[in-house]
Structure 1
Amino acid sequence: MEGLIVLIFIIGYAAIVLEHKLSINKSASALLTGVLCWTIVALVSTNIEETLHHLNEHLSEIASILFFLMGAMTIVELIATYGGFEIITDRISTKSQSGLLWIIALITFFMSSLLDNLTTTIVMATLVSKIVHDSKLRLMYVGMIVIAANAGGAWSPIGDVTTTMLWIGGQISTGNIISQLFLPSIVSLLIPLLVLSSQMKGTLPIKEENSKNTDSEEVTFGKNIIFWVGLIGLLSVPVFKSVTHLPPFMGMLLALGTIWAVAETLIKNKSEDVKNRLSIFRVIEKIDMPSILFFLGILLAVGALQTMGMLTSVATWLTDNLKNQTVVVTIIGLLSAIVDNVPLVAAAMGMYSLEQFPMDDPFWELLAFCAGTGGSILIIGSAAGVAAMGIAKIEFFWYLKKMSWLALIGYFAGIGVFLLQKMIF
């Protein structure tokens, strides 16, 4: 029966990777994989009560991640609805191709660490589509946005789903992950950025904002308030966890409740049309629920493998045969370019215990870096890449030819900096 579970898992993974070929959404494949894996576990179980106990344990961990994501996505979407991100994007005015690339990449890098790489990619790719006219040139900018967003998300506990998972799971702490991964992450961006910017010469026309929204009240009356309330709320989540020792999703829900109350107050005396357009309920309708269900399905599937003891067996094999944990984590990062990094990190969390590698062990730090930045090597390797595919119509093989080698040298440069940092300090 273990072989059957592995077969279901592999078939499910293949369906996720071949999502566009099969025309089946990866969320459906993930949910089917997760439920079928647990169905087999239940059918072969000799103690159904113990199986249900394991399921409930996994569900509790998964729910904390999903609530965190839903809260963050709602806050970010509310800021976007009010036009809050224009506070940043409206200040970009350079006409230099290389100058714009540096500005876009660095804004993406730091914004990703404060928000998350998926949302940042959506915001910045949309911005680039408005100010860069040439389609081929625009692809280069969006490709760098993917690399920058994943690099920026790797060193922040709220910047990438995988880093958030490790943070919530107790494998890493906020201050340590920032101090240990900032330098490797910025190097993994700067190397590709230096190479690409050296190839970009001349200027580009900047589209004039000649059509400012005439419905200024609806769009701008609460822009600054919502932006700063949301940003402060997101930034306060790690502080909330440190002070109260409650799970991070509680801090995120506190931030969501606060910005929700502020938004309701802002539109209280507005017209019904404004209330309908800016209502939190309209915002919630825009949340990417298929992505939430994808995480649910794939984490359930990984939980089934963990319950059957398969992940422990894999960990033992890797440890016995590869010996070097740096090599193991590097391979995990490379694999995240082929398949989604969420289940890979979930598997690693199941394979290696906190007794074996305690909180803030270099193993977990390097795992956070490799899983986050390794997804940039292929366009399908990260949520940011998949979002960029949709917005900028990036083709898989174009990215493979133009951007993958840049991401790869940045990836290994970052690992080198991480190891050098450990040797020195």
Structure 2
Amino acid sequence: MFILMVVIFILGYTAIALEHPLKVDKAASALIIGTLTWVVYMLGAESILHLGFSPSWSNFLAEHPDAHGLHAVHEFIVESEIIHHLGEISEILFFLLGAMTIVEVVDQHEGFKIITDKIKTTNKVKLLWILSFLTFFMSALLDNLTTTIVLVALLRKLIDDKQTRWFFASMVVLAANAGGAWSPIGDVTTIMLWIGGQVTALRIIEGVFLPSLVCMVVPLGILSFTMKGNVTRPEVEEDDIDYTTKTEQILFLVLGISGLLFVPVFKTLTHLPPYMGMLLSLGILWVVGELIHKDKPKEIRDKLKVIAILRRVDVPTVLFFLGILSAVAALQSAGHLSLLSRFLDEKLGNIFLIDLAIGVLSSIVDNVPLVAGAMGMYPITDAASTGYNAFFTVDGAFWEFLAYTAGTGGSMLIIGSAAGVAAMGLEKIDFIWYLKRISWLALVGYLSGAAVYYIEFGL
């Protein structure tokens, strides 16, 4: 049963990768593996947990010394693990729903037109550099997921051709992941390390900024020599009705961006999960919209009210997130990821190789449980530690390099990061297409940034 869970995950992952040839939506495949992994886990729970690979089960037994038999197993999986992981997954899903809705509200009010009108160039190379640097710094302020959602919405206003837009959206994913890696609030794994006390805000910026920048710039430099031509702007349909005024466009753009920027501030001030800040921002934007449009004709209200805009939100992307994160949660709970972490530690035994391997694995398996596994495997050592243990002190090389590899490694596959999954869902990017055209660029950037960090460490 333990092995069967891995087989189901691999088969489901293959179905997601072959979405277009199979003509089966990836959300359907994700929901199936997200459910079946837990079904197999539950049916074979006793044999799986007795293998001793699950840290969660060990912690449960330590907290409930009288627990034994099928009842204890049922309580552990159904009432403890599923509820725990559903809570974590729900935070991501509500965050995603809130961010997507805010972006759609701004888009419907033509707020992004303010930005797209400022970007005059149609040269592919210039546009790619402008958007990549915009993404890189935005993702450090917001986070890579929100930034990707915003930039994909912008791309729809700037590029008409689907394949060209796929390419730019993919490079946005690469830039967003690179930008999120060096900021304490830019990526969920960096947030984990920051909150966990493994790194401090200033040191993570100092140590990881340059490698992250190189991770983005190297692929851009390669494309500067290979990419030719201009993009075609989409034709703007002239409507007889002016749905929004210039003032309303600016207002909703400012409110939308401010609402997104408010999320990390909300988290810092309240210590509550980020999705609550996102939902608060959406609620405020919703109220403003209701008040502004209440006296307008019904035709305009039906187009601009948030209730109508919610119908445009990409629900399959949310369901895809639910399925894939549920499957990874089952593997984490059963102990597969813990076993993988131990294997890396025993076979590699070098902090740089371990972090590089975790980065590569994060393109296949969600980087959150991988980083969580690393945090659980390696306790923070005393500042006076020497030798190998010195790598694991606060702001030690292991933690800094882990922030870089786990944050940027996911770019190697479209499914390897929250930003990639969001872009894949919003633009329907094909897995195989990304693998052929973008993965090698992401790998070159990843290794280049890693080399820069290694040189920095040596100096």
Q: TM-score, normalised by structure 2?
A: 0.76
1:276, CA displacement in angstroms?
Answer: 0.7
Decide whether the 8 Å contact of 1:241 with 1:251 is kept in 2.
yes
Decide whether the 8 Å contact of 1:128 with 1:141 is kept in 2.
no
2:139 counterpart of 1:109: no
- What is the percent sequence identity of the aligned residues? 46
For 1:54 and 1:208, how far apart are their aligned partners in 2?
48
2:436 counterpart of 1:409: no
Q: Which residue of 1 aligns with 2:368?
A: 345
Q: Which residue of 2 aligns with 1:100?
A: 127
Q: C-alpha deviations, 1:202-260, integer Å up to 9, x for none?
A: x7587598866553343645211111112112112212222222222222222122111
Compared CA separation, residues 62 and 393, structure 1 to 2 (3 A): closer
Decide whether the 8 Å contact of 2:210 with 2:452 is kept in 1.
yes
Bigger CA drift: 33-42 or 135-144?
135-144
Compared CA separation, residues 271 and 170, structure 1 to 2 (3 A): farther
Q: Which residue of 2 aligns with 1:289?
A: 315
Q: Which residue of 1 aligns with 2:152?
A: 122
Q: Which residue of 2 aligns with 1:86?
A: 113
Q: Which residue of 2 aligns with 1:54?
A: 81
1:401, CA displacement in angstroms?
Answer: 5.9
For 2:155 and 2:271, how far apart are their aligned partners in 1?
36
Q: CA RMSD in A?
A: 3.6
Compared CA separation, residues 37 and 350, structure 1 to 2 (3 A): farther
Compared CA separation, residues 355 and 423, structure 1 to 2 (3 A): same
1:106, CA displacement in angstroms?
Answer: 2.0
What is the aligned counterpart of 1:197 among 221, 224, 233? 224
Q: C-alpha deviations, 1:62-115, integer Å up to 9, x for none?
A: 222222222222212211221212222110123655433322332233344436
Structure of higher CA gyration radius: 2
- Mapping for residues 252-401 of structure 1, pairs under 5 Å: 252-337=278-363, 339=364, 343-350=366-373, 352-353=375-376, 356=379, 363=398, 365-378=400-413, 381=416
Compared CA separation, residues 50 and 108, structure 1 to 2 (3 A): closer
Compared CA separation, residues 126 and 363, structure 1 to 2 (3 A): farther
- Aligned partner letter, 2:368: V
Decide whether the 8 Å contact of 1:125 with 1:145 is kept in 2.
no
For 2:167 and 2:87, how far apart are their aligned partners in 1?
41
What is the aligned counterpart of 2:244 among 218, 222, 227? 218
Decide whether the 8 Å contact of 2:170 with 2:434 is kept in 1.
yes
- Aligned partner letter, 2:451: G
For 1:125 and 1:208, how far apart are their aligned partners in 2?
10
Compared CA separation, residues 143 and 266, structure 1 to 2 (3 A): same
Decide whether the 8 Å contact of 1:155 with 1:178 is kept in 2.
yes
Bigger CA drift: 274-283 or 3-12?
3-12
Decide whether the 8 Å contact of 1:167 with 1:173 is kept in 2.
yes
Bigger CA drift: 273-282 or 320-329?
320-329
Decide whether the 8 Å contact of 1:65 with 1:165 is kept in 2.
no
> Secondary structure in 2 aligned to 1:215?
coil
1:319, CA displacement in angstroms?
Answer: 0.7
Bigger CA drift: 271-280 or 71-80?
71-80
Compared CA separation, residues 364 and 295, structure 1 to 2 (3 A): farther
For 1:366 and 1:185, how far apart are their aligned partners in 2?
11
Decide whether the 8 Å contact of 1:191 with 1:409 is kept in 2.
yes
Decide whether the 8 Å contact of 1:174 with 1:238 is kept in 2.
no
Decide whether the 8 Å contact of 1:37 with 1:301 is kept in 2.
yes
Q: Which residue of 2 aligns with 1:17?
A: 17
Q: C-alpha deviations, 1:352-402, integer Å up to 9, x for none?
A: 428635986654554443344334335565565577678889777776565
For 1:261 and 1:87, how far apart are their aligned partners in 2?
22
> Secondary structure in 2 aligned to 1:24?
coil
- Aligned partner letter, 1:5: M
Decide whether the 8 Å contact of 1:121 with 1:384 is kept in 2.
no
> Secondary structure in 2 aligned to 1:353?
helix
Q: TM-score, normalised by structure 1?
A: 0.82
> Secondary structure in 2 aligned to 1:269?
coil
* Number of residue pairs the alignment of both structures matches: 417
Bigger CA drift: 88-97 or 69-78?
88-97
For 2:117 and 2:20, how far apart are their aligned partners in 1?
35
> Secondary structure in 2 aligned to 1:216?
coil
Compared CA separation, residues 176 and 86, structure 1 to 2 (3 A): farther
Q: Which residue of 1 aligns with 2:36?
A: 36
- Aligned partner letter, 1:231: I
Compared CA separation, residues 80 and 168, structure 1 to 2 (3 A): farther
Compared CA separation, residues 103 and 299, structure 1 to 2 (3 A): closer
- Aligned partner letter, 1:83: E
For 1:300 and 1:390, how far apart are their aligned partners in 2?
17
Bigger CA drift: 73-82 or 286-295?
286-295
Compared CA separation, residues 67 and 141, structure 1 to 2 (3 A): closer
Decide whether the 8 Å contact of 2:411 with 2:417 is kept in 1.
yes
Structure 1 segments unaligned to the other structure (5+ residues): none
Compared CA separation, residues 136 and 329, structure 1 to 2 (3 A): same
Structure 2 segments unaligned to the other structure (5+ residues): 47-68, 381-391
